[in-house]
Structure 1
């Protein structure tokens, strides 16, 4: 028996990296998956790579009209869902205190905080009793990271969403947990490092910070997402699970 047999999932930011790896694994485990993302070309590639039991809906979670349209599309095909993986988030580069700009702040908080909040709120009326909400966190919520305070604060807000929403959802049977990856070799990270012109040096620095001496792989994070989405985690809510190679644990 596959672990997500017959379940319906929505994954935001599912066009690449951890989101795409999770979409593939959800389908392998028996789920029907709706994948959202901002770039249609990447969504088309995602469908091709997954193959079956998947549908894409283009949209930006920081745009409330897009969020409405995403869930109108989902509801038209499946009036109920079992899994909401609010994975979309944005780092948008590093700026130290003194150099932080209002557009930088707004961009990150609009996607990561506002987008997560209203994505989950819009999904809630569609969720079955016993459903699972998964929020993507980060190791930076429990660590000081130079020139990364805005992103870190946005993920700290997401972490508190899970604690607070676990209480708000009391009596519904719906669980909400945070999945926090450490440094992971996603296309987004690798491309960002490439743009610095110091990719090899920065990769080596990341690896030194991880007790397992390497970056994580998107598929490793996806396996934990399957656990949180499945009935195997039926007595977990308000929790945070790190898949970080020990990055924030030592």
Structure 2
């Protein structure tokens, strides 16, 4: 195992499960000091046990700006800087247009868009040249999956932010990129499949590589975008989807 992130301070929202947790484990193994957030203390504690390596958990709701402020105040007290932000927290709600209501809209956009914006904004005072921001998007931001227009649109916004922020932050030497998974074996995706018989088979049939993504597939891409291996990559969306979006 390399130590590409020795001495780096990494903040991961939604780090107690799924892609966030898998990425946190990899960053920690490669030498980073990792901070993760989660809303539930029990899940946060379990995640910290898995990550090890002195990882630090800060309980909070990233849709609450006071909680985000508290997160970065904790990082500032502990280490005084942020090198890498993985704005990972998000939700997936497949709701048809005819059925959605205002609460559905607010829940999706508060977490997938608003929280992501302020996760990045509030990190900036602690970031210097060489800093990296990775946003968790989705191939749904580029493909019109039926019955989930809110989710599709929220992830299209993530892609747009990466373009705009690459320009906004270039003079500060901070890179911004998006990792966009396809169907990945997460708890959230498993819940969706369990509620929709036949959906998993249909999804896999549409993947050129013939399987769901694994958590480590996405974590590997996150670490690539966060590392010096991608030092000339900016404003980019990296699909991790077995070829779905490209073919």
Give TM-score, length-normalised by structure 2: 0.97
Query: Structure 1: any 5+ residue segments left out of the alignment?
Result: none
Q: Is the 8 A contact 2:29 2:53 kept in 1?
A: no
Per-residue deviation, 1:191: 2.4
- 1:181 aligns with 181
Per-residue deviation, 1:183: 0.4
Does residue 136 in structure 1 map to residue 136 in structure 2?
A: yes
Query: Structure 2: any 5+ residue segments left out of the alignment?
Result: none
Does residue 247 in structure 1 map to residue 244 in structure 2?
A: yes
**Runs (4+) of structure 1 moved beyond 6 Å?**
none
Does residue 36 in structure 1 map to residue 33 in structure 2?
A: no
Per-residue deviation, 1:192: 3.1
- 2:90 aligns with 89
Per-residue deviation, 1:210: 0.7
**What are the within-5 Å matches in structure 2 for residues 106-185 of structure 1?**
106-185=106-185
Does residue 16 in structure 1 map to residue 29 in structure 2?
A: no
- 2:72 aligns with 71
Does residue 58 in structure 1 map to residue 55 in structure 2?
A: no
Let me know the Cα RMSD of the aligned residues.
1.0
Give TM-score, length-normalised by structure 1: 0.96
Give the alignment partner of residue 208 of structure 2, picking from 204, 207, 211: 211
Q: Is the 8 A contact 1:31 1:53 kept in 2?
A: no
**How many pairs were matched up?**
246
- Measure the CA separation in 2 of the matches of 1:94 and 1:233: 33
Q: Is the 8 A contact 2:28 2:52 kept in 1?
A: no
Does residue 237 in structure 1 map to residue 237 in structure 2?
A: no
- Measure the CA separation in 2 of the matches of 1:113 and 1:84: 15
Query: Once structures 1 and 2 are overlaid, which stretch shifts more, 93-102 or 163-172?
Result: 93-102
Aligned-partner SS, 2:131:
strand
